[in-house]
Amino acid sequence: MNERNDDDGRPPRQTHTKVVTAGRDPAAYHGFVNPPVYHASTVLYPNAEDFLAHRARYQYGRRGTPTTEALEAAIRELEGPQCASVALLPSGLAAISAALLAVVQSGDHLLVTDSVYAPTRNFCNQVLSRLGVTTTYFDPLIGGGIAELIQPNTRAVFVESPGSLTFEMQDIGAIAAAAHAKEALVVMDNTWASPLYFRALDHGVDLSIQAGTKYIGGHSDVMLGMVSANGATTTRLRNTVFLSGWCVGPDDVYLGHRGLRTLAVRLARHHQSALAVARWLEQRPEVLRLLHPAHESHPGHALWKRDFTGASGLFSVVLKPVPQKAVFAFLDTLELFGIGASWGGYESLAIPFDCAALRTATQWAPGGPTVRFHIGLEAVEDLIADLERGFAAMAVAAHHR
Ligand SMILES: Cc1ncc(COP(=O)(O)O)c(C=O)c1O
């Protein structure tokens, strides 16, 4: 296998190809297709002088191994030419905290979307607040209007598009332009789309975060996070991760690497199946509204179409008002949809949620109970049959008061 640059005169490789080739160097590993899993702390130096001068390709397990470098290089290539470095972290939330700690200092102010993943909010409110960093939450639909909220000490704007429970689409280009005009950075949780469907750094994002736990791992068997930095943030990110001592166990890095190779086909299937299930749900009398940005009915559909090249398998629905026990009967009857946190694995999930109490800048009043679905890789017909059984159980529960 030969490494190839995109600027060698031949047409650039397609993303589906890059997902297979990025970060691989079989010649360096005796021809084996995949990188070896280095379980490593100590690296031995040939002599004392080299040790004191740090003269070695690898210096210490925490500072990187061929295993970690392979995954970092692969993600870097998928992020595109704006990506200067990638850091691996032990979970998606750790990637979020690392990215934020890389950019803030005491006295700084952060702007965070009101639709943000709740643990990100908790980190800002309960950890960054102790370090003298204040946070203001903003309407996810604010777009370029963010300019009015930027204060002289606003260091960064944190976006998540779409919001991973409520699916508001954000105008990342407009937010980035406004933020950069006032010297604030943009940090994005890009887990929903991954760099395959939204190359965040190309749209003005300075630090792009993935919970690798979700689609990159892809099999619900690993906790992993990653942060991709552009030229403006790479030094800060690298220093923060290095000085803090964060690193990821080699087996988990390997699982990320292994999951990545099938990401493009899995995402394409998640996209297709989730839209098919969403279209079926839309027709159901029990459903008030779909919250799926790739569906034409979504208020953020035009932004999704403008900026994204695909959709993953995660979306929500608002049900017409029914008692909570009827929603529980629906969920508890489903056999193919597990009830549990996370998403991005091969299997389908469904959870009830209510984020009204979390919001501080906007009101969340959808008009009925809300359920989030993750559509896995099962046959759509079977998923629909399962949902049909769930709705039948919901009707029975709703009528037995
Ligand atoms: C949007 C989003 N970001 C980040 C995370 C955190 O990832 P992890 O569970 O790996 O910490 C999650 C987890 O559910 C998530 O949904």
What digits encode the pLDDT tens for the residues 40-87?
A: 999 999 999 999 999 999 999 999 999 999 999 999 999 999 999 999
Which atom of ligand 1 lies closest to the CA of 93? 11
φ and ψ of 75, to 5 deg? -65, -40
φ and ψ of 325, to 5 deg? -65, -25
Catalytic positions, written as ranges: 62, 117, 189, 214
Order of all β-strands in the sheet with 348-353: 287-291, 314-319, 370-374, 348-353, 337-338
pLDDT for residue 359: 97
pTM score, two decimals? Answer: 0.97
Which segments of 198-300 does DSSP mark as H helices, in order? 234-244, 250-260, 263-283
pLDDT for residue 401 is more than 90: no
Which helix (DSSP H) or strand (DSSP E) does residue 160 occupy? Answer: strand 154-160
Is the beta carbon of 93 within 6 A of some atom in ligand 1? yes
pLDDT for residue 369 is more than 70: yes
Q: How many A from CA of 122 to the centre of ligand 1?
A: 13
Which atom of ligand 1 lies closest to the CA of 225? 10
Mean pLDDT of 26-34: 96
Is the beta carbon of 115 within 6 A of some atom in ligand 1? no
User: Do 223 and 211 form a contact (C-beta atoms < 8 A)?
Assistant: no
Q: Could you tell me the sign of the dihedral formed by the alpha carbons of 369, 386, 164, 339, in that order?
A: positive
Query: What is the spatial distance between Cα 307 and Cα 199, in angstroms, rounded to a whole number?
Result: 9
pLDDT for residue 2: 45
Q: How many A from CA of 93 to the centre of ligand 1?
A: 6
Instruction: Give residue 330's identity as a one-letter amino acid code.
Output: F
Query: What is the spatial distance between Cα 206 and Cα 187, in angstroms, rounded to a whole number?
Result: 6
Is the beta carbon of 186 within 6 A of some atom in ligand 1? no
- Looking at every residue in the chain, the average pLDDT score rounds to 97
pLDDT for residue 1 is more than 80: no
Which atom of ligand 1 lies closest to the CA of 95? 11
* Ligand 1, atom 6: closest residue by C-alpha: 92
Q: Given pLDDT bands bounded at 50, 70 and 90, which one contains residue 9? A: confident
pLDDT per position as a tens digit, 99-146:
999 999 999 999 999 999 999 999 999 999 999 999 999 999 999 999
pLDDT for residue 272 is more than 50: yes
pLDDT per position as a tens digit, 207-247:
999 999 999 999 999 999 999 999 999 999 999 999 999 99
State the Rg of the chain over Cα. 22
pLDDT for residue 7: 63
* Residue linked to tokens 């619900």: 220
Which helix (DSSP H) or strand (DSSP E) does residue 135 occupy? Answer: strand 134-138
pLDDT for residue 91 is more than 60: yes
pLDDT per position as a tens digit, 171-183:
999 999 999 999 9
pLDDT for residue 5 is more than 80: no
